[in-house]
């Protein structure tokens, strides 16, 4: 098992990588759900595109501009939810929210979160929690929206 500081460096590296080379960073022309998210505190903007087939996320992508945390989080999110059922996505979201909003000195279960666990560090920086959750809120808004009209979600 690595030391805490080694783990932190590793996590940092994953976040930097996803910021520099975001996965699924594109407009999806045939999306059947989408939503725009805005975090006015930091200026992050994200549009999440989803192609939902029945109860499963067949494809997901995002576009936008913002800080490294918001971009890396959106990138990690799309990687994590692609191919998942809505129920699984909901479970991931609940786990993620719990992780980033829990007190820094408490133990939090991250085993089920996979790569998303690299964002656990944001809970030490309350102003960053909204950056990390923005894409998730946009995803949830997109999935709730049954029309193709863009829903707009703001973290404030």
- Which of 6-14, 44-52, 92-100, 107-115 is the region at the interface with Zn ion (rule: CB under 5 A)? 44-52
How far apart CA 91 and CA 93 sit, in angstroms, is 5
Residues 80-139 that bind Zn ion (CB under 5 A): 131
Q: Could you tell me if residue 140 is left (phi over 0), alpha (psi between -120 and 50 degrees) or otherwise beta? A: alpha
Q: Is 151 in the site for Zn ion (CB under 5 A)?
A: no
**Strand-pair partners of 43:** none
- Smallest distance, Zn ion to C-beta of residue 132, A: 8
Nearer residue to Zn ion within complex by CB, 6 or 41: 41
- Which of 1-9, 22-30, 66-74, 110-118 is the region at the interface with Zn ion (rule: CB under 5 A)? 66-74
Q: Of these, 67, 86, 98, 150, which contacts Zn ion (CB under 5 A)?
A: 67
How far apart CA 81 and CA 142 sit, in angstroms, is 13
Q: Which stretch of DSSP H or E encloses residue 14? A: helix 4-20
Q: Is 42 in the site for Zn ion (CB under 5 A)?
A: yes
């Amino acid at each position: 098992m690595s030391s805490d500081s080694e783990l932190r460096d590793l996590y940092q590296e994953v976040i930097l990588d996803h910021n520099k080379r975001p996965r699924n960073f594109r407009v999806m022309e045939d999306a059947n759900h989408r939503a725009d998210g805005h975090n006015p505190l930091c200026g992050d903007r994200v549009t999440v595109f989803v192609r939902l087939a029945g109860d499963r996320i067949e494809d997901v992508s995002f576009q936008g501009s913002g800080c490294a945390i918001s971009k890396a989080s959106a990138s990690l999110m799309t990687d994590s939810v692609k191919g998942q059922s809505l129920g699984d996505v909901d479970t991931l979201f609940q786990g993620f929210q719990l992780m980033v909003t829990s007190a820094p000195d408490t133990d939090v279960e991250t085993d089920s979160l996979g790569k998303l666990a690299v964002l656990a560090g944001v809970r030490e920086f309350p102003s960053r929690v909204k950056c990390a959750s923005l894409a998730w809120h946009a995803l949830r808004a997109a999935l709730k929206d049954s029309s193709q009209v863009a829903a707009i979600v703001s973290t404030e």
